[in-house]
Structure 1
Amino acid sequence: MKNKFLAVLLVIAAAFTACKKDKVQAPEEKTLPSGKYRLIEMVQSDAAGKDSVSTKYPVSSLSLTFDQDKKTANVSGKPEILQITGSYNVKSDEVLADAKVSTSRNVPGENDLNVADLLSAGEKYELKGGSVIIHAKNKGFLVFSMQK
């Protein structure tokens, strides 16, 4: 009887160990946000890293989209007057890398260059409700809202 009990206990322990190994070997792939997001706000940080200046964009056409297959984030449009295009490679843990941001040669609006600067320094994105926030290293962040 003891041998049968030990054998059953050994089989159960082996089954749990096998299940645990499967979970470790097959991590879930994170899905990127879907849809189109429009710039609605820019928040700049001061030298101490505190949020200091907030600018709203009620009529911005600057949009942000994600490509699940290519693992990229893309921006295109105008915050005010200046045409901006760019892309990032999206890494694990919502990290943005290899920023490529370019602008048209038009005379920029008051805050266009600040938006381009924040996009160039973008290092991470955060999904919050119906918004995507791009955090720029030591400069502030941009808030993009879901468009229907």
Structure 2
Amino acid sequence: MNNKFLAVLLVIATAFIACKKDKVQEEENTVLPTGKYRLIEMMQSDVEGKDSVSIKYPLSSLSLVFDQKEKTAQVYGIPETLPMRASYKVGANGGLAEAKVSTAKSVPGENDLTVADLLASGNKYESKGGSVVVHTKNRGYLVFSMQK
């Protein structure tokens, strides 16, 4: 009886370890979006976390690119008039961490500082067809569209 119990326990432990290894390998093999994406919209949320203000960016040069090898995301360019840069470490399931945002010391446009603030609080991204949405926790999101 003890031998059967130990054999079953060994099989269960082996299966558990194999599943755990598969999950770790899946996270490492996550394919990030490819190409260059340009900021086209900023959506701000109200105090309840619901969409409240939408700003369109038809002339923005703020771009988002992902580095598959380094597992990072870089943002650079000008949303309205203020040059800025941002970088993130990209984690599993679209997580963004270690946000670093810097701006030039020039006069910002009406919404430039809000864009920089949303970039600084970005915590995950979502890829939808030809666009990437950078979400923040209850503050809004930024929509980037594939550049041709």
Q: TM-score interval w.r.t. the shorter chain?
A: 0.7 to 0.9
Which residue is 2:128 aligned to?
128
* 1:138 counterpart = 2:112: no
Q: Give, as a single letter, the amino acid of the residue that structure 1 aligns with 2:21.
A: Q
Write out per-residue CA displacement over residues 21-78 of structure 1, whole angstroms, 9 at most, x where no aligned residue.
8665333311000000000000000011110000000000000000011100000000
Q: Name the TM-score, length of structure 2 as normaliser.
A: 0.84
Q: Give, as a single letter, the amino acid of the residue that structure 2 aligns with 1:83.
A: P
Name structure 2 gaps, 5 residues minimum: 1-10
Q: What is the correspondence of 1:29-108 to structure 2 with a 5 Å cutoff? A: 29-108=29-108
Larger Rg: 1
Which residue is 1:6 aligned to?
none
Query: In structure 2, what is the Cα distance between the partners aligned to 1:73 and 1:99?
Result: 10
Query: In structure 1, what is the Cα distance between the partners aligned to 2:137 and 2:107?
Result: 26
Which residue is 2:109 aligned to?
109
Query: In structure 1, what is the Cα distance between the partners aligned to 2:66 and 2:87?
Result: 9
Name which of structure 1's ranges 63-72 and 21-30 shifts more when overlaid on structure 2: 21-30
Which residue is 2:21 aligned to?
25
Q: Name the TM-score, length of structure 1 as normaliser.
A: 0.84
Structure 1 segments of 4 or more deviating over 4 A?
18-24
1:108 CA drift (Å)? 0.3
Q: CA RMSD in A?
A: 1.7
Query: In structure 2, what is the Cα distance between the partners aligned to 1:86 and 1:24?
Result: 33
Aligned residues: 132
Which residue is 2:6 aligned to?
none
1:20 CA drift (Å)? 9.8
Query: In structure 1, what is the Cα distance between the partners aligned to 2:58 and 2:98?
Result: 29
Write out per-residue CA displacement over residues 97-123 of structure 1, whole angstroms, 9 at most, x where no aligned residue.
000000001100000000000000000
